[in-house]
Structure 1
Amino acid sequence: MRVVAAMSGGVDSAVAAARLLDAGHDVVGVHLALSTSAATLRESARGCCTLEDAADARRVADRLGIPFYVWDLADDFRRDVVDDFVAEYAAGRTPNPCLRCNERIKFAALADKTLALGFDGVATGHYARIVDPGDPDNTTGRRELHRAADAAKDQSYVLGVMDERQLAAAFFPLGDTTKPEIRREAAERGFAVAKKPDSYDICFISDGDTRGWLAGRLGERPGEIVDTSGEIVGEHRGAYGYTVGQRKGLALRRPAADGRPRYVVDTDVTTNRVVVGPEEMLGIDVIVGENARWCGPAPEGLVPVGAQVRAHGRELPATAEATPDGEVVVRLAHRERGVAAGQSVVLYDGTRVVGSATITRTARD
């Protein structure tokens, strides 16, 4: 097969490209330029897509002897990921930009260009598994997305936005391997990136200061922090900078009467108020989502699933039902705390990813 290997400049995508080549595929390396003003060097392990990363990817491609190109998707990334991120926070929601990038860039804009050029698909260094029809683990007779063998590195959550068409043209060569094994393999292959730190957090906010980054784009909007009785207990510089479940950085004027810690239990960008309350107010067991994306046919009726609401969160036993008006209602067997609108809930059947939805509201049953 002719495959485009998306090469970020990190160790995972380097080994993924090498494994494709070993398997006999015709491989072309592609680095995505996602910033209109990419930094020359990384300042830390946060972020990615610097000129240094592009150079690291090129060196790996040269060592493998495969063609290498840089594709400019900066405008797509700004519009579909960065602008969406700002708009979601401005509306009082908490988005996950990694899911948006996979949904709209890597397995949409990149995949569409790849297929249009006559390639068979796109490979990335994500830790997840594709199970083909006929494999013993396959339950549907279609290509399935499954959790990675390495639970600590499993990235199936951020891939839960992929639909059946995108899965058909996706390759994840690292799904059966642990991260230490990948680093050893990279070193054995002579890749200089074998010990390169992983990138993490939000790639376009390299210093990790999300609230400060948002303030630079949305401006400061001073307002009140109130408790559940409406009493003013503090001030903030923009309700958009807070999310449900947050405890740190509140700078409240005084502790609660019972001395217990308080958490953000609601944000209202309309009134520009942040509401804080005790920990028990964070527990919810009903999640309603929209914009459902299924990795195969949508489930019919009420079905048992595992539900995950954070990239590295626990899987919760639950039931899910797709409603006629396009919503997905998930009922958790146990209460989960700190679930905010804008996050994604990803549904599982064993290790298989069933689909995902963007959370619009939560409740207690």
Structure 2
Amino acid sequence: MSTVHDSPAVRSSTAVQLDAFGGPEVLKLREVPAPQAGPGQLRVRVTAAGLNPMDWIMTADAETAARFGLSLPVGFGTDFAGVVDQIGDGVTNFALGDRVFGGALSRSVADYVVVDADGATPANEAHHTPDDVDDRTGATITIAGRTAAAALAAINLSSDDTVLIGGAGGGVGVFAVQLARLTGARVIGTGSATSAEFLSSLGAEPVAYGDGLVDRVRALAPGGITAAMDLHGTETVDAAKELGVPNDRICTITTKLEGIPAGNGSDAAPGTLEEIAQLIAAGKLQVPIAESFPVEQIRQAAELQGSRRVHGKVVIEL
């Protein structure tokens, strides 16, 4: 039997679910049976859930959902932070009451989630939250942190590099820019004209995306760029190629292109999330929270996140 902390009578949970694939309009707040931790698992009382583009992408249609192993009815959101309140048999690396953050694929926007305690499967995991990291911040780390770290590893940055990061102000971008700066690399980040101050605050030298990007980068870095990361589409890839960057020093995360490495969060090295959490705790990495919403406003939150015009992370508080 599982060991239950404090509230053995808990049998229901509020959760965001979908009965049909689609956009924010299909998100519904429901009372559902509370999940119970089995052997090797732990249950978390969720206090905050971070939103990512993949949340609405993978629940937009049946074909995409099937690639992630999802079927209706399905939950929403992956990143979470909270407190361990139930532990299954065989779990020794967590204790009741531990603060944790992690990922629960397409089910994190709920009062309770159950995940595996061994952390072996991305988006079915929990990690200890450092004392100096609050839950809202902890709820932003998993997907964006993994993806940014994997993309950086794919292009093998060093202090000798000047890297162009496309979509630098987005959820993955805020991690990628700062992690790239920590390698000692010079970072140039693309964004809208209104994002320049925000990108500068992260440590990037801002440059406007769109027509003329190559010329603007040349003017900013006459010595050239040596690596590139496209976090949005293909514009930065095309610019990097024109600027002479070899394919193996270019990375994408949203589009697969022949000969171009892909930054897949599932490929992030073991211990990546713990390292990022410690950087945040030490004040070496900041996570801007663009806006927080109560769970009752999940549709408004998803619309804002899906607009791709938000600077930083969108968080749901439960």
TM-score range, shorter chain: under 0.3
Which structure has the higher relative contact order (CA within 8 Å, separation 6+)?
2
Give TM-score scaled by structure 1 length. Answer: 0.23
Give TM-score scaled by structure 2 length. Answer: 0.26
